[in-house]
A and B are shown apart, each in its own frame.
Chain A
């Protein structure tokens, strides 16, 4: 079941085409990674989803029906460029932002107080924002993003500016939101967090989606029959052991073992790699190499369709 879909979204700016027939499908209760190099069009797409700007063409569906202006109340957005009014007190400001999302005064106060306690910043309620550390400001921003318990949460580079401890806190909180039923769109350059959090991704490059789907499926597609074999006690030259069609991509060793990473031709199986080693050495391990998101990203972007034509 898809909570949100964007269908064939196109957006032109004065100088360039920001989005070209972009479609994404965000399954309910998933963490959806929106990836792409700088300037690919991610922020434009996110702003369109938040109805901050309007697409030139295309359809946006939330829960299977057309996205409406009132839907901003079911979306929580933490922008990449984010801040707070410096001269306002933390409490006033949080109340203001919560009420702009449609919460009543009482409801906003009740929810904010409990979240402020949870995030251990309740003591700062009456302080001015400019007195807060950056990490604390980020906590306030995160709280007001989720305060109205939106069905769809959009985080644009949420981890930038967080120290590792707070980044971890944030990560756990994102997972907790998913647990509670929220669907999350996560736009980031941080591939480690994609690896950890996302179950679906879409990769945008030069205004187009060049890769999308469940992470596991994408990884399966990007596997290229590569294995790392660990062994010891090889009696002959390595090149006589491995068939010529096999390609060695990496080797390493520790005091007791040798490791060799080998890419096999398409028709070969790991057994074809294992057999010659079994005859000449003692095999300790054999492991399939699953491509990292980082590698997939680089590969997709560098070999992807470079169809970028600047508009005049």
Chain B
């Protein structure tokens, strides 16, 4: 046990001290930050006007939707069925449908669109509706107080009681009028980004394991080391050491990206950030007077232009879940693939010979990336389901699905199978590895590997 720690320590330290590691650690966050900041920046300049029709059965909200640089609203008077049909024909960007309620105040809306619904529109609808509902509630309270029914008056109690959450469902309408669940761009971008990152990490660090094994073989140090430790310890030590390097890099990326994004957006739009920050400060401290509550709604409501909305959308992402599942699927996927990479490194004499073996093990990974564009369109479909369950593709595909929300049962099934898959590849890899590292100058083919496997 002490020996495997020594191996992990060496593998880790020699890699994090390398110049390439330091360069990657600095470059990565700059690229990622650019990926986050540029859309934010562009969103502030987007000024294509989209027409949105409103079907408000409650009649409470229509007047409060104000045309902006991006959206122009007009009221519809019809029933929902014909309104939906009309949407396809009219070429409107979206249809906001607020269904009538019997007893309670309205608390939900459905946005129909032919494409994915713009995140700005979603949060604007949310803002308008919640402000309006809160106002109604407040009026009712005030009425109660005036008529003397509800004394003594507890302001914070009132403010708490009027707080309102509005549910927005977004549905996609096909050319033929069929409906399907729609997802926001932010989920797609995030899913795609996480999937590609997993793919890159597995590839990068898996091939580092392979190169490390080849280095030990070509430098002929491997026999010296396996006279002190078991080949399995050496292999696992290397895999774990390199994995920790990957983890370190990822953590540094997250922290540095956060620092850069915060810094850059603060310089681009300083007052909006201030607004937002004030808003949040107010939100956390329970407001003590209606004036403060007013300023809160104002701060949230007036910032209808792109920047803040995208930032809000990014903030709305469940980062603990995203980062947590990324860590799991990266680590487990990495363990599964790096064992195979280690076996390849052990079987060959130099990097040129690795091609024929690398191709088959990378096919599932590449397939997962090719399928990614279909999966973000239909994250709950059977294609998405199966590829997020099969261990070889699950790290990438499941990560793409996570931002859209995946049932826990599926996530756990996928995780369990991935762990089993990793145990299986490690078992196979260990056999090939321990025979391979002691073979020099021998061209290996699949038949030979099969023999090692059966014999070991």
Same assembly: yes
Chain A residues with a Cβ under 8 A of chain B: 13-14, 47, 50-53, 69, 72, 75, 77-79, 81-88, 96-97, 99-101, 141, 144
A83–B225 alpha-carbon span in the complex (Å): 10
Q: Indicate if B258 sits at the interface (CB-CB under 8 A).
A: no
- Supplied contacts A52-B227, A72-B228, A100-B228, 9 more A-B pairs, CB within 8 Å: A47-B223, A50-B227, A52-B226, A53-B434, A77-B223, A82-B220, A84-B221, A85-B215, A96-B6
Contacts of A51 in B (CB 8 A): 227
Tell me whether A82 and B224 are in contact (CB under 8 A). Answer: yes
Contacts of B221 in A (CB 8 A): 82-85
Tell me whether B3 and A100 are in contact (CB under 8 A). Answer: yes
Tell me whether A83 and B219 are in contact (CB under 8 A). Answer: yes
Tell me whether A100 and B6 are in contact (CB under 8 A). Answer: yes
Tell me whether B227 and A141 are in contact (CB under 8 A). Answer: no
Q: Indicate if B229 sits at the interface (CB-CB under 8 A).
A: yes
A99–B9 alpha-carbon span in the complex (Å): 12
Min distance, Cβ A145 to any Cβ of chain B, angstroms? 8
Chain B residue nearest to A98 (CB atoms) is B228
Cβ-closest 5 pairs across A and B: A83-B220, A79-B223, A83-B219, A100-B228, A77-B227
Chain B residue nearest to A81 (CB atoms) is B220
A51–B226 alpha-carbon span in the complex (Å): 9
Q: Indicate if B81 sits at the interface (CB-CB under 8 A).
A: no
Tell me whether B14 and A88 are in contact (CB under 8 A). Answer: yes
Contacts of A84 in B (CB 8 A): 219, 221
Which of B220, B225, B227 has the most chain A CB atoms closer than 10 A to its own CB?
B227
- Chain A interface helix/strand/loop/mixed: loop
Range class of the B interface residue count:
20 to 34
A86–B10 alpha-carbon span in the complex (Å): 14
Chain A residue nearest to B434 (CB atoms) is A53
Contacts of A14 in B (CB 8 A): 451-452, 455
Tell me whether A97 and B215 are in contact (CB under 8 A). Answer: no
Contacts of B219 in A (CB 8 A): 83-86
Q: Indicate if B424 sits at the interface (CB-CB under 8 A).
A: no
Q: Indicate if B440 sits at the interface (CB-CB under 8 A).
A: yes
Q: Indicate if B155 sits at the interface (CB-CB under 8 A).
A: no
**Given A14-B451, A100-B229, A87–B14 Cβ distance below 8 Å?**
yes
Per-position contact with A for B224-250: 1 when CB-CB < 8 Å, else 0? 111111110000000000000000000
Q: Indicate if B438 sits at the interface (CB-CB under 8 A).
A: yes
Chain B residue nearest to A78 (CB atoms) is B224
Min distance, Cβ A147 to any Cβ of chain B, angstroms? 11
A85–B14 alpha-carbon span in the complex (Å): 11
Chain A residue nearest to B228 (CB atoms) is A100
A274–B219 alpha-carbon span in the complex (Å): 60
Per-position contact with A for B1-43: 1 when CB-CB < 8 Å, else 0? 0010011001000100000000000000000000000000000
Chain A residue nearest to B2 (CB atoms) is A102
A249–B114 alpha-carbon span in the complex (Å): 105
12 A-B pairs in the complex with CB atoms less than 8 angstroms apart: A47-B438, A50-B227, A53-B434, A79-B224, A82-B220, A82-B221, A83-B221, A85-B14, A85-B221, A86-B219, A87-B14, A100-B225
Chain B residue nearest to A77 (CB atoms) is B227
Min distance, Cβ B9 to any Cβ of chain A, angstroms? 9
Tell me whether A82 and B223 are in contact (CB under 8 A). Answer: yes
Tell me whether A99 and B223 are in contact (CB under 8 A). Answer: no
Chain A residue nearest to B435 (CB atoms) is A53
CB within 8 A of B227: which of A72, A86, A88, A96?
Answer: A72
Tell me whether B223 and A81 are in contact (CB under 8 A). Answer: yes
Tell me whether B227 and A79 are in contact (CB under 8 A). Answer: yes
A88–B212 alpha-carbon span in the complex (Å): 13
Tell me whether A81 and B10 are in contact (CB under 8 A). Answer: no
Contacts of B225 in A (CB 8 A): 97, 100
CB within 8 A of A101: which of B228, B440, B451, B455?
Answer: B228
Min distance, Cβ B113 to any Cβ of chain A, angstroms? 56
Min distance, Cβ B443 to any Cβ of chain A, angstroms? 14
Contacts of A78 in B (CB 8 A): 224
Contacts of A82 in B (CB 8 A): 220-221, 223-224
Contacts of A83 in B (CB 8 A): 219-221, 224
Per-position contact with A for B426-456: 1 when CB-CB < 8 Å, else 0? 0000000010001010000000000110010
Chain B residue nearest to A100 (CB atoms) is B228
